[in-house]
Amino acid sequence: MDLLNASITFLNFVFVPGLAYGAQLALGALGVTLIYGILRFSNFAHGDTMAFGTMVTIYATWGLQAAGITLGVLPTALLGLPVGIIATALLVLLTDVLIYKFYRKKKAVPTILVMVSLGVMFVMNGIVRLFIGVEEQDFSDGARFLISAGDFKKWTGLSEGLAIKSTQAITVIVAVIVVAWLFWFLQKTRTGKSMRAFSDNEDLALLSGINPDRVVQVTWIIAAALATIAGVLYGLDKSFKPFVYFQLLLPIFAAAIVGGLGNPLGAIAGGFVIAFSEVMVTYAWKKVLTYALPESMAPDSLVQLLTTDYKFAVSFTILILVLLVMPTGLFKGKSV
Amino acid sequence: MSRNLALFAGVALLFVLTGMFQSWNLSLSILNMALLSAIMAMGVNIQWGYAGLFNTGIMGFTALGGLAVVLVSSRPVPEGWAAGGWSIVLGLLLGAATIAAAVMASKRMKKGALRNLAVAIILVVGFLAYRAVLDPAVEAVEAFNPATFGNIGGLGLPSLIAWPVGALFAAAAAWAVGKVALGLRSDYLAIATLGIAEIVIQVLKNEDWLTRGVKNITQLPRPWPVPLEVDLQNSATFLGWAERFGADPVGLSTIFVKLLYAMLFALVLLFVIWMSERALHSPWGRMMRAIRDNEVAAAAMGKNVTKRHLQVFIIGCAIVGFAGAMMTSMENQMVPGTYNPLRYTFLIWVMVVVGGSGNNWGSVLGALLIGWLWLIVESLGPAVMGQITSVMSEGPLKAHLIDSAPHMRLLTLGVILLLVLRFNPRGLIPEK
């Protein structure tokens, strides 16, 4: 039995990757949930919005790298990020004026808006593929590790190492800053308060003189920023591939629904619930158990509940369970 | 009425022009895919047009139809089956029994900690038993000659029997999804079906014992009455025909086979149209539209909205599964890697919306038109892009533009979908 090494292995292979992935999902789900709360539809184009923002950031990063500008140990993409956010915000504002506004004025039913967002998804997907192609792009630079497994072993003298990739650390730090800012914005500023009022009761908000167009615009800008940040962090941590971003829709929606659609706090909780379940169910526990259990009980098999190919099945199962048991989500969402 | 006929004639002209200026072979391949898409579009139209249900998992139900063809009509692998076929069946039954027991327990027992504990114990014990039975069996099956087999094989029955089985598979999956997601917010069904489709494809890609995964299953039999081209080229009667028309026997045989497929698919399509038109104009159809237009009023009149939604969802998915099985039969192979949500889910949606949701003939027209557009752009796109860029000097930009021509169709289809939704939301042939 060696509980210290067992917990280090757990931290290295389950907790740290799960934390970073959870932060990425939480940022994505926050965007979905904000759009749902204010505009009242599930935005199927969110995954491709993430891909678009990441693509612009990648181009900006390449430009900066070509000009010889880097951030040293930090990835250059952090400098390119504002460019990506601005471009994505402009694009979604344009789609709002050209497309969504018409249906909002008409008070179209949510399914029509979902279908419209499918069309937007097609267009964004086409733009991304047209510019950057379908291939995988790696755009991370700077230091690879905050703590590498080898160094950790040297410092502690343990047989298991704990590696923390710099992208994982950056993901968590950026996510904390963004979420803190978002909650401050929603709670303390006038615009944030009017957004919450609009989300709670549209008619009442209109009666008290809140400008709906402004609320909608601010929502789109924030959603675009969240989508771009989530996409860039995911791309730095793993890699950028347009189709993978489309597939991220499922865990992101699952996170938003599990937390309660329309509830920002829920989206964050949902993101971590989905991420940790995904990592824990698809992780082969053999190594951890070999350390944690007495020698006679050490497992022979991998002790892996599902292979990583079925990670979507995990988010799907959690989604189904939540729909069955508490359709409004862990935190009270908008409606059933 | 004459307008609709003109629209259909226009689409027919597109296929004729393709045949004259490109090749009849291409025109007929596009027609066959378009006819299959038309059947799928009918299934979606029943769900969306009749009942307002938003299904984003069409790809999954299509693939389930394909799975039925693999299990029913691929050649048997007796050694593979003997190695662990029955154990796999037992394992899957154990899995199903576990879920059923957990559902029973949570329904029958009183709310509280005891119930949660009981459900958790049932699930954990059931899962362990399921893995204990399934894992060794799967390993044994996949160990048998993995280069050619490594799967449990099929029953070796004719393809025509596999098609209704495909419908059954899709219907069973639809029942499970619908039972959970219907009756809640309309968006939830969209998200749940998106998920189930992704999982079905992952199962097909990864369960080698079932579909040989990414190693693909080939040489699936042709459905009756379609012969193999090689057999045609060796038959004296056929060579006699070819001589009479003065045609090349090889070319004629491929066209003959494609024509037979087209006729077979058209027959199925007409049958589906006839059935759904009958359903639409029956009291059942009026009830469905009443529910779609005002759920609250229909519920107040004593209609069980959730039950009717489940029913129509299952029927629509079964039709999609049937068409999916037909498609796998036509391609003679099962390639899980080719299932792509943009092609098999969202393209079908564009067909339904462009054609006219709620109108069966509209869906068929939309499928033929969009199906033609999708496949013709695939073959013409690079050539057109080459023309456009011919004035440019050689360089990476030109190469990139020519390479990216196939992606233009996503953009084009998105724009078409948005324009139709905005300016002509009732589609080319609107609902009466």
Structural domains counted in chain A: 1
What is residue B419's predicted lDDT score, i.e. its pLDDT? 93
User: What mean pLDDT do residues B317-339 have?
Assistant: 93
User: What mean pLDDT do residues B141-147 have?
Assistant: 83
Q: Report CB contact under 8 Å: B342, A323.
A: no
What is residue A335's predicted lDDT score, i.e. its pLDDT? 47
Q: Report CB contact under 8 Å: A115, B54.
A: yes
Q: Which residue from B minimizes the CA distance to A95?
A: B418
> pLDDT tens, B106-118?
888 888 888 889 9
CA A181 centroid distance within chain: 16
Residue corresponding to tokens 């564009």: B350
- The pLDDT of residue A294 is above 90: no
Of A119, A249, A307, the CB nearest to B421: A119
Q: Which helix (H) or strand (E) holds A146?
A: strand A145-147
Q: Name the average pLDDT for chain A.
A: 89
Q: Report CB contact under 8 Å: A41, B52.
A: no
Query: Which of A62, A102, A115, A335 is best to mutate for the B interface (most B CBs within 10 A)?
Result: A115
Q: Report CB contact under 8 Å: B411, A327.
A: no
The pLDDT-based confidence of A333 (bands split at 50, 70, 90) is: low
- The pLDDT of residue B383 is above 50: yes
Residue corresponding to tokens 């039925």: B68
Shortest distance, CA A177 to any CA of chain B (angstroms)? 30
Q: Could you give the percent of chain A with pLDDT greater than 70?
A: 99
Q: Which residues pair with B203 in a beta bridge?
A: none
C-alpha distances in Å from residue A142, one per residue of A77, A236, A246, B103, B133: 10, 11, 27, 52, 49
The pLDDT-based confidence of B246 (bands split at 50, 70, 90) is: confident
- The pLDDT of residue B122 is above 60: yes
Per the model's pLDDT, the better-predicted residue between B424 and B168 turns out to be: B168
- The pLDDT of residue B357 is above 90: no
Instruction: Output DSSP code: residue A296.
Output: G
What is residue A1's predicted lDDT score, i.e. its pLDDT? 66
The pLDDT-based confidence of B33 (bands split at 50, 70, 90) is: very high
Q: Which residue from B minimizes the CA distance to A326?
A: B184
Q: Enumerate the residues of chain A whose CB falls inside 8 A of the CB of residue B54.
A: 111, 114-115
The pLDDT-based confidence of A236 (bands split at 50, 70, 90) is: very high
Shortest distance, CA A156 to any CA of chain B (angstroms)? 37
Q: Report CB contact under 8 Å: A122, B413.
A: yes
Say which range, A21-25, A238-242, B234-238, has the weakest mean pLDDT: B234-238
> pLDDT tens, B384-407?
777 777 777 777 777 777 777 777
Q: Enumerate the residues of chain B whose CB falls inside 8 A of the CB of residue A313.
A: 199, 202
The pLDDT-based confidence of A336 (bands split at 50, 70, 90) is: very low
- The pLDDT of residue B358 is above 90: no
Q: Name the average pLDDT for chain B.
A: 88
In a domain, A332, yes or no: no
- Tell me the CA end-to-end span of chain B in Å, nearest whole number: 11
In a domain, A333, yes or no: no
Per the model's pLDDT, the better-predicted residue between B275 and A299 turns out to be: B275
Shortest distance, CA A120 to any CA of chain B (angstroms)? 6
What is residue B75's predicted lDDT score, i.e. its pLDDT? 86
Say which range, B87-101, B343-357, B397-411, has the weakest mean pLDDT: B397-411
**Domain that residue A32 falls in:** 3-325
Q: Which residue from A minimizes the CA distance to B116?
A: A325
In a domain, A331, yes or no: no
Q: Enumerate the residues of chain B whose CB falls inside 8 A of the CB of residue A134.
A: 407
> Which sign, positive or negative, has the C-alpha torsion A96, A97, A100, A104?
positive
HSE-CB at A128 with a 13 A cutoff on CA atoms is 34
Query: 3-state secondary structure string, chain B?
Result: CHHHHHHHHHHHHHHHHHHHHCCHHHHHHHHHHHHHHHHHHHHHHHHHHHHCCCCCCHHHHHHHHHHHHHHHHCCECHHHHHHHHHHHHHHHHHHHHHHHHHHHHHHHCCCCHHHHHHHHHHHHHHHHHHHHHHHHHHHHHHHCCCCCCCCCECCCCCHHHHHHHHHHHHHHHHHHHHHHHCCCCHHHHHHHHHHHHHHHHHHHHHCHHHHCHHHCECCCCCCCCCCCHHHHHHCHHHHHHHHHHCCCHHHHHHHHHHHHHHHHHHHHHHHHHHHHHHHHCCHHHHHHHHHHHCHHHHHHCCCCHHHHHHHHHHHHHHHHHHHHHHHHHHHCCECHHHCCHHHHHHHHHHHHHHHCCCCHHHHHHHHHHHHHHHHHHHHHHHHHHHHHHHHCCCCHHHHHHHHCHHHHHHHHHHHHHHHHHHHCCCCCCCCC
What is residue B226's predicted lDDT score, i.e. its pLDDT? 84
The pLDDT-based confidence of A334 (bands split at 50, 70, 90) is: low
> pLDDT tens, A55-93?
999 999 999 999 988 888 888 899 999 999 999 999 999
User: What mean pLDDT do residues A212-239 have?
Assistant: 94
In a domain, A335, yes or no: no
Put simply, whether B187 touches A (Cβ < 8 Å) is yes
> pLDDT tens, B269-327?
999 999 999 998 999 999 998 998 888 999 998 899 999 999 999 999 999 999 999 99
> pLDDT tens, A126-178?
899 888 888 888 888 888 888 888 888 888 888 888 889 999 999 999 999 99
Helices (H), chain A: 3-10, 16-39, 46-66, 77-95, 101-106, 110-132, 149-156, 166-188, 190-200, 202-207, 212-237, 242-247, 249-259, 264-282, 286-292, 311-325
In a domain, A173, yes or no: yes
Interface of B with A in 317-356 (CB under 8 A): 341-342, 346, 349, 353
CB distance B324 to B173 below 8 Å:
no
What is residue A332's predicted lDDT score, i.e. its pLDDT? 73
In a domain, A334, yes or no: no
User: Tell me, what CATH number does A144's domain have?
Assistant: 1.10.3470
What is residue B234's predicted lDDT score, i.e. its pLDDT? 84
Closest by CA to A262, choosing from A33, A29, A46, is A33
Closest by CA to A51, choosing from A309, A224, A251, is A224
> pLDDT tens, B78-95?
888 888 888 999 999 999
Q: Which residue from A minimizes the CA distance to B196?
A: A316
What is residue A254's predicted lDDT score, i.e. its pLDDT? 92
Q: Report CB contact under 8 Å: B418, A324.
A: no
Please state, in angstroms and rounded to a whole number, the distance separating the CA atoms of residues B347 and B353. 10
